[in-house]
Structure 1
Amino acid sequence: MRLERRQNTSRSALVLAPVCAIGFTMLVSGLLVLWAGAPLGRTYALLLQGGFGSVFGWSETLTRAIPLILTGLSATVAFKARLFNIGAEGQLYAGALAAVAVGGLHGGTGIEWPLWVLFPLMMLAAAIAGALLLLGPALMKARLGVDEVVTTLLINFIVLLGVSALLDGVMKDPTAMGWPQSVSLQDGLELGRLIAQTRVHTGLIWGGVLAVLVWLLFKHTVLGFDIRALGANSRAAAFAGVPVTRTVVLVALISGALAGLAGAIEVAGRTSYVTLDMSPGYGYSGIVIAMLAGLHPLGVLAASIFVAGVLVGADTMSRAVGVPTYIADVIVAASLISVLVAALFTQFRLRWK
């Protein structure tokens, strides 16, 4: 048995592939639901209702989707160039800390900055913090051949330990009753509510605009062509004149900056301060979202809403039928695997010998 590349891929195969992937995901997840002793139809109905069946459900889904969009874009940019950035979680926290350092601790300098100056400085600091955190592993890969999967993954743990130390040290809020959290942002630096009486904030607009900009970058710029060429074949790209090291550095800066902005927007839009459990794994979920979207920036928007809806709906489902919320993680993981396998079989066929 071997894989053989198809000469042509029909439109029907492209349409049926995601349908079959979704069906396989529902089948695998359904077996686990039945194993837990819950009614299958009602469980799936509650899952959809919790995430998409009401104004409150949609608002929570969109709120949860905002950081996922940005970390998904971060992974998309990096993976498109075969720079496997597994460190978006650490870059998110670095961006959040930088945002608070500019927007919350600046008062110690004795300078009163106007909000219209302070807000862009806060976002810029977050983007720079995330970008610099990925720059080192990218340079080590480009110059020394060091595996960036290992370095970016290990940096996540270093950053989280650093966050823990800072939240119990110089950045600790003295009014937090001993709770390890940073000082809050200055009043006026929070993002506005996009929908009244909900938690949906204007970070959703930021995510949509950035997705369009990344799509334009890939499709209509020389850098986008270099990124795609590097991802297709780095040796052929170098032979064709693509500046490999420069492209890797720019990809690292863009990818890290997007993850850093995810942290700043999460602070400015939802929490106003940094805590050690601020992110329930948004950086790692961004990898899943990028793959579900097929590394397409606009597809990241749909994939983020899907994953966020599953995670939000799992809470309603768990309370109603007693199925563990971890079933949501199974659905997301099975969706990723099935979509990848379905995409593989649109390009290849099995040949038996």
Structure 2
Amino acid sequence: MEIVPRARPSKALSAGLPVLAAVLSLLLAAIPLALAGAPLGQAYAQMFAGVFGSLFAFTEMLTRATPLIFTGLAAAIAFRARLWNIGGEGQLYLGAMAAVWVGSGMIDGPPVLMIPLVLLAGAIAGGLGMLGPAWLRTRFGADEVVTSLLLNFIILIFVQMMLEGPLKDPMSLGWPQSEPVSEAATLPALMARMRLHAGFLIAIGTAAIAHVIMAMTVWGLRVRAVGENAAAARHAGIPVTRVFLAVAFASGALAGLAGVSEVAGLKGYLTTDLSPGFGYTGIVVAMLAGLSPLGVVVAALFIASVFVGTDSMSRAMGISSFLADLTVSMSLICVLLGGFFTRFRIRRPRGRAAS
């Protein structure tokens, strides 16, 4: 048996791969459910009801999807240029910290001024968080997978230090949390008595803008060219280093906006447990979406549905909530395997050359 590349990968298979991976991962989830002794029909029905059974459940899914759209876009855009940004988690915290710093009293103004300032501060902070690893790659050839990943832990320690120092809320009774974001800097709720906020609309709009930029602009063409072959792009006159740094800043900025959406739209203040791993899950979202900005929205909604649905199922049936992480992991494995068989095929050698 030998592995050979396909001459022309099937476009239909490439387009249907994410859907196939999502369905297959849900079917594979039946194995641990059965081992846990849960009735499969009831378990899947409870998972579905946990997302679509009420308006509250549905809006909770959209709220959970909001930061995943931002971190998924951050990974998708970087990966398009073969810039492997694994630091979305740290960049999220940088964006959240900048949003709290600006929005908790440093500047006083109306919402029409404060909300854009908070978003801008978070985007800049997150963008700067990825510029370092990108510069180390372009200047010294350092692996950005390692540098961006390790930077996550450094940033989290820095956030802990700030929450015990300059950003600490004096009214928190010793709990390490920041001062709350002012009402003027808070993203407005979209529905009364629901947690869904304007950050969801900003995320959808950002995905649409990213799609237009990547598909219809010269800059998007340069990013795709660098991702396909950096040496050929440089030979064609594309400033590869400048493109890498611009992509790095844009990717970090998007992850920073995820942090802004959480502190200014949902929680209201910063703590070290703000994110349950949105930065890392964003990588799964991007891969499931095939690095498509519009596909990121769909993938984020699917991943959020899995998390919210399995949380509801675990509470109703006493099943471990870790099933959500297992399902998401299986969806990524299905995408990777499907992507492999989209580009390659296995064939039996017709014969061996005579020795």
Between the two proteins, the alignment pairs up a number of residues equal to 349
Matched, 1:36 2:32: no
Tell me the equivalent position of 2:353. none
Over residues 290-319 of structure 1, what are the superposed CA-to-partner deviations in whole Å (9 max), with x where a residue is unaligned? 000000000000111110111011111112
| Change beyond 3 A, Cα 1:118–1:6 | same
User: How big is the shift at 1:245?
Assistant: 0.4
CA RMSD of aligned residues (A): 1.7
Over residues 226-277 of structure 1, what are the superposed CA-to-partner deviations in whole Å (9 max), with x where a residue is unaligned? 1101111111211222111000010011111111111112111101110110
Tell me the equivalent position of 2:148. 152
| Change beyond 3 A, Cα 1:114–1:30 | closer
Tell me the secondary structure at the aligned position of residue 116 of structure 1: helix
CA distance in structure 1 between the partners assigned to 2:111 and 2:16 by the alignment: 51
Letter in 1 for 2:136: M
Letter in 2 for 1:24: L
Tell me the secondary structure at the aligned position of residue 183 of structure 2: coil
Q: TM-score, normalised by structure 2?
A: 0.94
Tell me the secondary structure at the aligned position of residue 188 of structure 1: helix
Tell me the equivalent position of 2:54. 54
Q: 2:236 aligns with which of 234, 240, 251?
A: 240
Q: Are 2:25 and 2:334, in contact at CA under 8 Å, matched by a contact in 1?
A: yes
Q: Are 2:4 and 2:345, in contact at CA under 8 Å, matched by a contact in 1?
A: yes
CA distance in structure 2 between the partners assigned to 1:253 and 1:247 by the alignment: 10
CA distance in structure 2 between the partners assigned to 1:312 and 1:128 by the alignment: 31
Q: 2:135 aligns with which of 136, 139, 161?
A: 139
CA distance in structure 1 between the partners assigned to 2:75 and 2:195 by the alignment: 26
Tell me the equivalent position of 1:294. 290
Tell me the secondary structure at the aligned position of residue 50 of structure 1: helix
Letter in 2 for 1:260: G
User: How big is the shift at 1:332?
Assistant: 0.6
CA distance in structure 2 between the partners assigned to 1:189 and 1:17 by the alignment: 41
Structure 2 gaps, min length 5? 350-355
Over residues 80-109 of structure 1, what are the superposed CA-to-partner deviations in whole Å (9 max), with x where a residue is unaligned? 1011001111111101111111111416xx
Tell me the equivalent position of 2:170. 174
CA distance in structure 1 between the partners assigned to 2:190 and 2:70 by the alignment: 18
CA distance in structure 1 between the partners assigned to 2:48 and 2:262 by the alignment: 25
CA distance in structure 2 between the partners assigned to 1:292 and 1:203 by the alignment: 22
Tell me the secondary structure at the aligned position of residue 117 of structure 1: helix
Tell me the equivalent position of 2:352. none
CA distance in structure 2 between the partners assigned to 1:349 and 1:3 by the alignment: 6
Q: Are 1:38 and 1:322, in contact at CA under 8 Å, matched by a contact in 2?
A: no
Q: Are 1:52 and 1:309, in contact at CA under 8 Å, matched by a contact in 2?
A: no
Structure 1 gaps, min length 5? none
Q: Are 1:68 and 1:282, in contact at CA under 8 Å, matched by a contact in 2?
A: yes
Tell me the equivalent position of 1:97. 97
| Change beyond 3 A, Cα 1:220–1:53 | same
Letter in 1 for 2:170: P
What percent identity do the matched residue pairs reach? 50
CA distance in structure 2 between the partners assigned to 1:113 and 1:15 by the alignment: 47
Letter in 2 for 1:247: V
Tell me the secondary structure at the aligned position of residue 285 of structure 2: helix
Residue correspondence of structure 1 range 1-353 to structure 2 within 5 A: 1-10=1-10, 13-14=13-14, 17-18=17-18, 20-106=20-106, 112-353=108-349
Greater shift in the superposed pair: 26-35 or 6-15? 6-15
Letter in 2 for 1:175: M
User: How big is the shift at 1:130?
Assistant: 0.6
